[in-house]
Amino acid sequence: MTEDILKISDLSTRFFTSEGQVNAVERISLNVGEGEVFGIVGESGSGKSVTALSIVDLVESPGQITSGSIEYRNAELADALEADYPDAVDGEFVDVLSVPESVRRSLRGPSFSMIFQDPESSFNPSVTVGEQIAEAVEVQRRARADPRSTRARTQGVEYSLSGYLTSALLPSKRFVTTESKERAIELLEMVGIPDPVKRAEEYPHQYSGGMLQRAMIAQALAGEPDVLIADEPTTALDVTIQAQVLDILSELQREVGMTILLITHDLGVVARMCDRVGVMYAGEIVEQGTLADIFEENVHPYTAGLLGSVPVLDDVGGRLRPIEGNVPSLLDSEMGGGCYFADRCPKAMEECLRKPRTFDGPGSDDHVSMCYLADHPYEEGEALSDEHFESTGGDDR
Amino acid sequence: MTDPLLEVRNLRKYFFERDSFLDRLLGDDPVAVKAVDGLNFEIERGETLGLVGESGCGKSTAGETVLRLQEATEGKVYFDGSNVYEMDTTELQEFRRRAAIVFQDPFSSLDPRMTIGETVRQPLDVHDWPPGDDHDRSKRERRTERVRDLLNRVGLSGDQFDRYPHEFSGGQRQRIGIARALALNPDFVVLDEPTSALDVSVQAQILNLLDDLQSEFGLTYLLVSHDLSVIRHICDRVAVMYLGEIVEVGPSRSLFSDPQHPYTKALLESVPRVDVGERERDVDTLSGEVPSPRNPPTGCRFRTRCPSVIPPEDVDIEQDEFRTVQTVRDRIRNRDVDLSGTKEFLETDETDDLADRIVDTMLDLEEAALSEPHRSRVREALSVALEDEWEEAEKSLAAYESVCEDVTPALQERQDHRAACHLLDQPAGVEDTVTDSGFTPRQGDD
Ligand code: SF4
């Protein structure tokens, strides 16, 4: 396996709403190897998107990262920060949560780039697509041209920050050079936009959904990021267009050696793209391992339930095995102290009323699961009686 | 065998743009968006037919037009023998009782100001259910009882009668939508993307529920969906749509295991499998995007993306080369070669040189190669186009005209089902009947 580029430990992100504290991400830990595609899979409300936003520091109020570390390997950066922030640096790793916000922000683009499900939100409707990508190229160029920019010396950071702000606020044309324009066209071509020269001159509304999705990938790549975070990048697309976009992503990943963190609800997409996978449920990563660990050696009943729910193309009908019930409330006051899945779990036992720790799974060395079943076999005699969950009812609520 | 419950004959639904009074005054011709363009299919009693295709293929419009929620532009829909578009008020009311619909979005299809009890009861009120007089009990009581039964049947609780939609999860709201559709005891239900907005674990619950209800009440379903796995899972027969037309139709089993139409093959191939071996599976992705239904391609509508488009017999050319030439021809036909932009980009003024460089750039972009004599011909055509002689340019590549662009293929029986592609032998005389989809008209028609 390759060396880790990202180490997330004990990360929690909470939302302090008028209804109470919502534990959207609950002490998750994961490592991503350089050049690897790591998938985070889960249903709505599982915390997968908030995890992505936490990494790029885009969690909005009333949300807040409340604990944990996000360590990112970048020798140069570590070197530059060592003197001023010794606590944030560990060898080649920098804990991005322990450096000032301005430094964190300067990482967006050259270190982490994010693509979203809805490309419209990433483009300004009144500027041509080509210019917007060229702008992203410029921001990157300026950052690289001035090595101080990624350093923590306030001056350096301010420099790149003001550069970023000016290019964002002023008419972009002034800042777009012929070079960055050409690079933008190259990027559009790279993501499979036909006629990139002409297309670069067009506005976002002239693009189809699939095309804009590609343009967004081009924009994200403009910064030559170390880690691309893709949140449901193909969910809004038709299946033949999804296949094209996934193809482009894997090609880029292979060619550039980019690391991808892929957030999705679609197990087929996970199978097509990912080396390793984390399954999220109610804010936690309940099972994690290689693709084969998750698909074939899974121990967590939620993982099994998710796989059993999917109708597959090659099946011949028959009944699906859905997970009864629905995703639980993430309100801190309602979450209880046991396994969060216990009330929907067909194999819940007495012990499950106490929070399970993370156990090693039967698969590869990386395989872990937050379920007692990883540690000892299921005995029907230990099953929790139905009355125990009377209050929650059997149906999806 | 008994008659099918539903028969759709040559159904068309066009939407007209630029059709306002002012437009007509100014003499602008209305533009037809051919959302549904000549559908023929039937649904047997108790079966589930799937309509599958990508966005914009017209599948949802087809579902709504079949129920006469939209008027058809042309064609007939026979429900239990009578034409839905010729029904009088009484007949139509009876049809509305017997044919219901479940919509995709359980969030917007329920009125937020009505309790779920009222929502489910509404069709009973509208149809003054139950028929006749029962002096012992008021209709109101009987309706309330019916609603409670329905709620219980779809997995909710009758006690939730007085709650409002926002108090329910997506899966529960879809159950409410289903209860409402079943209120009048219909025979036929159109399910329009019923699980697309739901999480997969909840989707599985709803699919199982629909399955149970079908056997219990002997329902006939038309399932409209973009999700091939869902379609495969619950449909007895499937019709694949592309740009308003059915390109392949038949029993699920044979259609999925032995697809005949290049589009169906590509569609099936595109679906990522939930399997550890998925990364190694070769997928030939379709290039390009679905063309606009305002101006669909002539002949076979899939030809602009088809990996197997057929070269003329007397032209010796590789498949991918042929597709490149076709792309150029389409671009010339649509006057879609950006000359000034390309000139600027290539920083050259010499037209002569330009045609060469355009060909190079284009081939480069398409990662295609063109052997002689095709390359010279394409180059020739482009330089003529650069002189603004578009028609000349078109003519100079006329030798490449494919049967796929000339003639609309008819649905042909193959491997237990029908597909419309020139790769399957076409019946004699198909040229004359380009819009006919190869269906024998219903007996006694016109
Ligand atoms: S008719 Fe021609 S273009 Fe259409 S699907 Fe068949 S081979 Fe392809």
pLDDT digits (tens, 9 = 90+) for A34-75: 999 999 999 988 999 999 999 988 888 899 999 999 999 999
> What is the pairing mode between strands A359-360 and A368-369?
antiparallel
Helix, strand, coil % over all residues of chain A, rounded to 5: 45, 20, 35
Exposed, middle or buried, A202 (CB in 10 Å: 0-12/13-18/19+)?
Answer: middle
Residues B213-238 as b/e (b if ≥16 CB within 10 A, e otherwise) read: bbeeeebbbbbbbbbbbbbbbbbbbb
Cα B415 to Cα B136: distance, rounded to the nearest angstrom: 59
**Of B303, B304, B411, B412, which is best to mutate to test ligand 1, by the most ligand atoms within 8 angstroms of its C-beta?**
B303
Report yes or no on A308 lying in a domain.
Answer: no
- Look at residue A162 and tell me if it is in a domain: yes
Query: Nearest CA to A369 among A395, A339, A391?
Result: A339
Cross-strand pairs, B161: none
Which residues in B lie closer than 8 A to residue A305 (C-beta atoms)? Answer: 201
Q: Say how far apart CA A240 and CA B228 lie, in whole Å.
A: 12
Question: Chain A residue with minimal CA distance to B366?
Answer: A194
B87 pocket-lining for ligand 1 (C-beta < 6 Å): no
The pLDDT value recorded for residue A260 is: 95
Angle at alpha carbon of residue A315, lines to A314 and A319, rounded to 5°: 160
Q: Is residue A52 part of a domain?
A: no
| Dist CA A264 CA B107 (whole Å) | 22
The answer to whether the beta carbons of residues A309 and A322 sit under 8 Å apart is yes
Residues of chain A with pLDDT > 70, as a percent, come to 87
CB contact under 8 A, B267 and A239: yes
B407 Cβ inside 6 Å of ligand 1: no
- B272 with A271: Cβ contact below 8 A: yes
Which residues in B193-338 belong to E strands, given as ranges? 220-225, 237-242, 245-251
Question: What confidence score (pLDDT) does residue B341 get?
Answer: 61
According to DSSP, residue B130 is labeled: S
Instruction: For residue B404, give the ligand 1 atom closest to its CA.
Output: 2
B341–A271: do the CB atoms touch at under 8 Å?
Answer: no
User: For A307-351, what is each residue's pLDDT tens digit?
Assistant: 999 988 876 667 888 888 877 888 888 888 899 999 899 898 888
Would residue A84 count as lying in a domain? no
Q: Is B5 in the pocket of ligand 1 (CB under 6 A)?
A: no
pLDDT tens series, chain B, 446 aa: 578 999 999 999 999 876 666 666 776 677 888 999 999 999 999 999 999 999 889 999 999 999 999 999 999 999 999 999 999 999 999 999 999 999 987 677 788 899 999 999 999 999 988 887 666 678 888 999 999 999 999 999 888 889 998 888 888 999 999 999 999 999 999 999 999 888 888 899 999 999 999 999 999 999 999 999 999 999 999 999 999 999 999 999 999 999 999 999 999 999 999 999 999 998 888 887 888 888 889 899 999 899 999 999 888 888 888 888 888 888 888 777 766 666 666 666 666 667 777 777 666 655 667 778 888 888 888 878 777 788 888 888 888 988 998 899 999 888 789 999 999 877 766 554 444 343 333 433 33
Element housing A14 (H / E):
strand A4-17
pLDDT at B409: 93
Determine the 3-state secondary structure of B194 from DSSP: coil
Contact A309 B200 (CB under 8 A): yes
- Chain A CB within 8 Å of residue B203 CB: yes
Q: Please indicate whether, in this complex, the C-beta atoms of B232 and A306 are within 8 angstroms of each other.
A: no
Domain that holds residue A188: 124-225
Q: CA angle at residue B226 from B222 to B228, to 5 degrees? A: 90
Using a CB-CB cut-off of 8 Å, the residues of chain A touching B342 are 197-198
Residue A341's closest CA among A283, A261, A270? A283
- pTM for the whole thing? 0.86
Alpha-carbon span B439 to B92, nearest angstrom: 27
Residue in A266, A309, A317 closest to B201 by CB: A309
Burial class (CB in 10 A: 0-12, 13-18, 19+), B162: exposed
**Mutational test site, ligand 1, from B247, B286, B308, max ligand atoms within 8 Å of CB:** B308
H or E element: which one contains B413? strand B411-414
Q: Which atom belonging to ligand 1 lies closest to the Cα atom of B301? A: 4
Query: Chain A within 8 Å of B16 (Cβ-Cβ)?
Result: no
> What mean pLDDT comes out for the span A265-271?
95
**Phi/psi of residue A359, nearest 5 degrees:** -105, 155
The predicted structure's pLDDT at residue B179: 94
What is A65-115 written as a DSSP string?
A: EEEEEEEEE-HHHHHHHHTT-GGGEETTEEEGGGS-HHHHHHHBTTTEEEE
Distances (CA, A) of A71 to A7, A89, A97, A154: 5, 9, 8, 21
State whether the beta carbon of B308 lies less than 6 angstroms from ligand 1.
yes
What DSSP element (H or E) covers A368? strand A368-369
Q: pLDDT tens-digit profile of A230-245?
A: 999 888 888 998 998 8
The answer to whether the bond into B293 is cis (omega within 30° of 0) is no
Q: Does B108 touch chain A (CB under 8 A)?
A: no
B258 touches chain A (CB under 8 A): no
Say whether residue B279 is in contact with chain A using an 8 A CB cutoff: yes
More confident residue, B406 or A279: A279
For chain A, say whether B360 makes contact (Cβ under 8 Å): no
User: In angstroms, how far is the first alpha carbon of chain B from the final one?
Assistant: 24
Here the tokens at position B426 are: 């076409």
Instruction: Among A265-274, A385-394, B47-56, B113-122, name the one with the lowest average pLDDT.
Output: A385-394
* Atom number of ligand 1 nearest to Cα B409: 1
**Does residue A367 belong to any structural domain of this protein?**
no
Interface test with chain A among B48, B153, B200, B302, by most A beta carbons within 10 Å: B200
B251 Cβ under 8 Å from any chain A Cβ: no
**pLDDT of the residue at A172:** 41
The C-alpha of B174 sits at a distance from chain A's nearest C-alpha, in angstroms, of: 11
Closest-CA residue of B relative to A305 is: B201
> Token pair of A41, please?
């899979």
Inter-chain residue contact A239 with B285, CB threshold 8 Å: no
Joined tokens for residue A368: 């872990």
Q: Pseudo-torsion of CA A100, A104, A105, A107, nearest 10°?
A: 150
The alpha carbon of residue A8 is apart from the nearest alpha carbon of chain B, in Å, by 26
Q: Testing the interface with B: which of A117, A214, A240, A244 to mutate, by most B Cβ within 10 A? A: A240
* d(C-alpha B412, C-alpha B422), whole Å: 9
CB A235 within 8 A of CB A264: yes
Residue A4, min C-alpha distance to chain B (Å): 22
Cβ under 8 Å to A: B residues 340-359: 341-342, 345
Q: Band of the pLDDT at A155, cuts 50, 70, 90?
A: very low
Question: Quick check: B317 contacting A, CB < 8 Å?
Answer: no
Question: How many whole angstroms separate alpha carbon B112 and alpha carbon B173?
Answer: 11
CA of B262 to the centre of ligand 1 (A): 7
Number of domains in chain A: 1
- Split at pLDDT 50, 70, 90, the class of A148 is very low
Phi, psi at A194, each rounded to 5°: -70, 145
**How far, in Å, CA of B392 to CA of B398, rounded?**
10
Q: Is residue A208 one of the residues assigned to a domain? A: yes
A68 closest CA partner among A97, A105, A31: A97
Residues A348, A343: Cα–Cα separation, whole Å: 8
Residue owning tokens 């985070």: A40
Ligand 1: centre distance to CA A108 (Å): 46
Spacing, Cα B384 to ligand 1 middle (Å):
29
- A118 touches A111 (CB < 8 A): no
Residue A145 is predicted with a pLDDT of: 57
Please indicate whether residue B409, judged by its CB atom, sits closer than 6 Å to ligand 1: yes
Determine which residue's CA is closest to atom 8 belonging to ligand 1.
B309
B273 touches chain A (CB under 8 A): yes
| B273·A242 Cβ contact <8 A | no
Closest listed residue to residue A321, CA positions, set B231, B205, B175: B205
Q: How far is the CA of B228 from the centre of ligand 1 (A)?
A: 21
Cβ pair B66, B72 in contact under 8 A: no
Looking at the domain assignment, is residue A141 inside a domain?
A: yes
Contact between chains at A308 and B204 (C-beta distance less than 8 A): yes
pLDDT at A181: 86
SS3 assignment, position A195: coil
Distance, in angstroms, between B299 CA and closest chain A CA? 22
Helices H / strands E in chain A, number of each: 12, 13
Task: Please indicate, yes or no, if residue A249 is contained in any of the structural domains.
Answer: no
Please indicate whether, in this complex, the C-beta atoms of B205 and A311 are within 8 angstroms of each other. Answer: no
pLDDT at B351: 60
Tokens standing for residue B418:
């029908």
Assign residue B189 a region: left if phi > 0, alpha if psi is -120 to 50, beta otherwise? beta
